[in-house]
Copies of this chain bind each other. A is one copy, B any other.
Amino acid sequence: MSKPLRVAMIGYGFMGRAHSNAYKRLNDFFALEHRPVLQVACARNAEKAETFADTWGYSRVETDWRKVVEADDVDLIDICTPNDTHQEIAIAAAKAGKMIVCEKPLARTTAEAEPMVKAVEAAGVPNMVWFNYRRVPAISLAKQLMDEGRIGRVFHFRANFLQDWTISPDVPQGGAALWRLDVQAAGSGVTGDLLAHNIDTAMWLNGAITRVVARTETFVKERKHQLTGKKEPVGIDDACLFIAEFANGSLGLFESTRYARGHKALKTFEINGAEGSLAFNLEEMEYLDYFEYAQDSHVRGWRRIHVTNGEHPYMDRYWVPGLVVGYEHTFLNAIADFVKGLETGKSVQPDFRNALQTQKVCDAVLESARAGQWVATAVEL
Q: Which residues of A contact B (CB under 8 A)?
A: 14, 17-18, 20-21, 24-25, 27-28, 55-56, 141, 144-145, 150, 155-156, 158, 162-165, 167, 213-215, 217, 219, 239, 241-243, 245, 249, 251, 253, 255, 257, 259-266, 272-277, 282-287, 290-293, 297-306, 308-309, 311-312, 318-329, 372-374
Q: Please name all residues of chain B whose beta carbon is closer than 8 Å to the beta carbon of A21 when the two chains form the complex.
A: 25, 28
Are B28 and A257 in touch, CB under 8 angstroms?
A: no
Q: How far is the CB of A317 from chain B (nearest CB, A)?
A: 11
Please give, as numbers and ranges, the residues of chain B lying within 8 Å of A309 by CB-CB distance: 264, 297-298
- Whether B251 and A253, one on each chain, are in contact in the complex, defined by CB atoms closer than 8 angstroms, is no
CB closest residue in chain B, given A153: B219
**Contact at B323–A325, with CB atoms within 8 Å?**
no
With the chains together, A213 CA to B211 CA distance in Å? 14
Sample (25) of A-B pairs whose CB atoms are under 8 Å apart: A14-B320, A27-B55, A28-B55, A141-B298, A144-B298, A150-B299, A155-B239, A158-B255, A167-B274, A214-B243, A241-B251, A260-B277, A261-B274, A261-B277, A262-B276, A262-B302, A263-B322, A284-B324, A285-B324, A297-B309, A298-B312, A301-B303, A302-B303, A325-B327, A373-B373
A272 to B162, CA, bound (A): 10
Q: Which residues of the other chain, B, contact A215 by a CB distance below 8 angstroms?
A: 213, 243, 245, 251
How far, in angstroms, from A144 to B296 measured CA to CA in the complex?
13
Q: How many monomers of this protein are in the complex?
A: 4
The A contact surface, by secondary structure, is mixed
CA distance A282 to B309 in the complex (A): 15
Contacts of A24 in B (CB 8 A): 24-25, 28
A313-B224 Cα distance, complex, nearest whole Å: 32
Q: Is the pair A155, B219 in contact by a Cβ cutoff of 8 Å? A: yes
Known pairs A144-B298, A298-B312. 4 more at Cβ < 8 A? A14-B319, A164-B272, A215-B245, A304-B304
Is the pair A301, B305 in contact by a Cβ cutoff of 8 Å?
yes
In the complex, the answer to whether B327 meets A327 with C-beta atoms within 8 Å is no
Q: How far is the CA of A282 from the CA of B265 in the complex (A)?
A: 21
A277 and B262: CB pair below 8 A? yes
- B319 with A18: CB separation less than 8 A: yes
Q: Which residues of B contact A259 (CB under 8 A)?
A: 155-156, 272, 274
Q: How far is the CA of A253 from the CA of B240 in the complex (A)?
A: 11
Asked if A305 meets B299 with Cβ closer than 8 Å, knowing A243-B243, A322-B264, the reply is: yes
Nearest-Cβ distance from residue A166 to partner chain B, whole angstroms: 11
Closest chain-B Cβ to A171's Cβ sits at a distance in Å of: 13
Q: Which residue of B lies closest to A257 (CB)?
A: B156
**Distance, CA A156 to CA B312, complexed state (A):** 28
Q: Which residues of B contact A277 (CB under 8 A)?
A: 260-263
Chain B neighbourhood of A163, CB < 8 A: 322
A132 to chain B, nearest CB (A): 11
